[in-house]
Amino acid sequence: MKTVDPITLDIIENALKNARFEMDGVVVRIALSPVIREQHDEFPMICNERGQMIVGQFGSYIPAIVEKFQGDLNEGDIFVWNDPYACKGSISHNNDWCVMMPIFHEGVLVGFSSIFGHMVDVGGKVPGSMPADAYSIWEEGLRIPPVRIYDKGVLNAGVLDIMLNNTRTPDMNRADLMALIAGCRTAATRVRELCDRFGRDTYMAACDMLLDRTHEAMKVLIDKYISEEPVTFTDYVDDDGVGNGPFKMTLSIYRKGDTAVFDWTGTDPQAEGPINFHIHEGLCKLFFGVYMIMAFDPSILFNEGFYDLFEIVLPEGSLLNPRFPAALSNRLNTHTRFFDCQAGALGQRAPHLSMAAGYGTSPHFIFTGHDQDGKYFQLMELLFGGVPGRPRGDGLDGHAWWPLFSATPIEYIENYYPVLIESYRPIRDSGGAGLHRGGAGIAKTYRLLETGRVSIHDDREIVPPWGINGGLYGGTSSKWIVRKATGETERIPSKIDNLAVEAGDVVVFNTAGSGGWGDPLDRPAESVARDVRHDLVSPQAARDFYGVVLTPANVPDDAATEALRADMRTRRGEPEPFNFGYVPEQAEAAE
């Protein structure tokens, strides 16, 4: 294999990283929907000629698509799809439209660029296309198998017409789709420039070397942090939206030689409702690899070089490998619990490097109706919660699981939709107590200015996010509506569609917090007092959970604090490695 000198390799690596972020920039400048334009719910990647991801986040699904077309790839071709079952789980619900473009240099295939992004609506039984009560994927909107949207540079208008004819938001979807395509074309241009600058053979050899480098680095992490003796961890999804749950997710991790095995045996069977996560095996590998890199050595490049070092066991017919046509639209409740299980299992071998559990889903709020001019509106917003306490410090308050996501600006919502945001603030005491406090959930209050319907999807209402290394569990989620007509306050389920609302009604959306990291009795008293002054922790919680006694001015009383903490340590003993707050099996036994 051709070798590339370290400086050239570094230049190519960083040029590809920059191209990946340029793809993001192009997409958000062209897209129209708030979910992509404002919240950045799109995920680009650049692959080599074999379809292996070199830079990106979600891992490559390219080989499964190329296999379908039996090598019939041409310059100017662009492919699109969204059907999870038709692409082996590379896309995990119908709202994600995926675009893929083969990249040629002087007639030679040198790689692929690809992006998928969340469309605000793809048809189906409810606005937003993520019904809480779906029993099959047929209820969740248009399913598109891998097809050419551009054939040798020519738009396939018929395919586009079918796609846009099956959505309530055709203008947004068209703009968002073209944004994804533009992002892929941008990456293709940058790859061709690298081939021109360094030579095609050098560029392709550099891609291979980047994969090999990640492979060798991951071997070190596996040997250091994964033992031959299995470690097992279990967490839960509250419910499936149709009355069943909680659902158990069990993960066992162990090593066979140089291979790390991630075994989901013991996970509950697939749900009737739409929380099933039809995960691609390669994507599963990437999630584990990314977590290990972020927890143990963030200097390693995310790519697929470590794939042959991982073995994945996904029992057929389970929550993580459901049989067609299981409903999938709200799989993010399961998806994010996947990360919590990783943290819990890996944290047993390296607790000093692991983290607690977070808000554990992707809460969303959808408000639809017609304004005074009879024009249809459809607001969809992703909300965030508490990111868990970590070895390096406190968790983040009201933050996204996905690093590049951002909150929809209030000005954007109020300018384009009949909604006023009356408050947006962290929830006091929702971050689990710890040496490093868990991030707080957020409370967002919407005053609705038109009659319409609201859909809400969330989780962690029953099973709270657990704490680690002596840290305590975090706060759960809740939803409320205050009716203008009566002034009465009603609780809303965490998963509900088409709730009728009137102009003037107020919806309060409280997301879950996250677990704390480390013994809360070791947290500096002044840090606790600062949290009290910032209204993140109540004075009572400061005393009960942190052992911090405050003066009326919310300043620590050092002598009283020292005495109280000594007494609490004596009565408590050594803290538990995990603090769950609620375990379904134990709750059933108590009943």
* Amino acid in position 21: F
In angstroms, rounded to a whole number, what is the distance separating the alpha carbons of residues 192 and 187?
A: 9
Of the candidate ranges 292-296, 410-414, 565-569, the one whose mean pLDDT is the lowest: 292-296
Residue 241 CB contacts under 8 Å (≥ 6 apart), including other chains? 132, 133, 134, 273, 274, 275, 330, 457, 495
pLDDT of residue 259: 95
**What is the C-alpha end-to-end distance of the chain, expressed in Å?**
65
Extended strands (E) in 61-107: 78-81, 96-105
In angstroms, rounded to a whole number, what is the distance separating the alpha carbons of residues 170 and 147?
A: 19
Task: Say yes or no to pLDDT of 537 above 90.
Answer: yes
pLDDT of residue 585: 57
Closest CA to 394 of 336, 337, 453, 437: 437
In angstroms, rounded to a whole number, what is the distance separating the alpha carbons of residues 401 and 439?
A: 12
* Amino acid in position 350: A
- Structure tokens belonging to residue 291: 């977590």
Bridge-based pairing of strands 53-56 and 478-482 is: unpaired
Closest CA to 379 of 42, 123, 127: 127
Mean pLDDT of 379-408: 92
Measured CA angle at 41 (ends 39, 42), to 5 deg: 135
pLDDT of residue 287: 84
In angstroms, rounded to a whole number, what is the distance separating the alpha carbons of residues 348 and 285?
A: 20
Task: Say yes or no to pLDDT of 280 above 90.
Answer: no
pLDDT of residue 469: 96
pLDDT confidence bin for 129, thresholds 50/70/90? very high
Mean pLDDT of 44-71: 86
Task: Say yes or no to pLDDT of 151 above 70.
Answer: yes
The 10 Å Cβ neighbour count of residue 40 is 21
Closest CA to 46 of 128, 149, 115, 126: 115
Closest CA to 279 of 231, 232, 327, 314: 314
pLDDT of residue 584: 65
Mean pLDDT of 539-547: 97
pLDDT of residue 586: 54
The 10 Å Cβ neighbour count of residue 165 is 10
Helix/strand/coil percentages in the chain, nearest 5: 35, 25, 45
Cis before residue 325, ω within 30 degrees of 0? Answer: yes
pLDDT of residue 282: 81
pLDDT confidence bin for 362, thresholds 50/70/90? confident
pLDDT of residue 583: 57
Closest CA to 121 of 283, 364, 375: 364
**Exposed (0-12), middle (13-18) or buried (19+): which is 69, by Cβ within 10 Å?**
middle
Calculate what percentage of the chain has a pLDDT beyond 70: 97
Residue 10 C-alpha from the chain's centroid: 29
3-state secondary structure 505-572: CEEEEECCCECCECCHHHCCHHHHHHHHHCCCCCHHHHHHHHCCCECCCCCECHHHHHHHHHHHHHHH
Q: Which residue pairs, CB below 8 angstroms and at least 24 apart, start in 7-12?
A: 8/198, 8/202, 8/206, 9/206, 9/209, 9/210, 12/194, 12/198, 12/202, 12/203, 12/206, 12/207, 12/210
pLDDT of residue 590: 46
Q: What are phi and psi of 514, to 5 degrees?
A: -155, 165
- Structure tokens belonging to residue 304: 């697929």
Mean pLDDT of 530-538: 98
In angstroms, rounded to a whole number, what is the distance separating the alpha carbons of residues 130 and 120?
A: 10
Residue 295 CB contacts under 8 Å (≥ 6 apart), including other chains? 343, 346, 350, 353, 354, 355
pLDDT confidence bin for 279, thresholds 50/70/90? confident
pLDDT of residue 135: 97
pLDDT confidence bin for 1, thresholds 50/70/90? low
pTM, rounded to two decimals:
0.93
Mean pLDDT of 83-95: 84
The 10 Å Cβ neighbour count of residue 584 is 16
Q: Is the dihedral of CA 424, 429, 431, 436 positive or negative?
A: positive
Mean pLDDT of 186-209: 97
Residue 268 CB contacts under 8 Å (≥ 6 apart), including other chains? 247, 248, 249, 318, 319
Mean pLDDT of 2-26: 96
Residue 37 CB contacts under 8 Å (≥ 6 apart), including other chains? 28, 31
Mean pLDDT of 80-98: 88
pLDDT confidence bin for 296, thresholds 50/70/90? confident
pLDDT confidence bin for 582, thresholds 50/70/90? low
**Exposed (0-12), middle (13-18) or buried (19+): which is 573, by Cβ within 10 Å?**
exposed
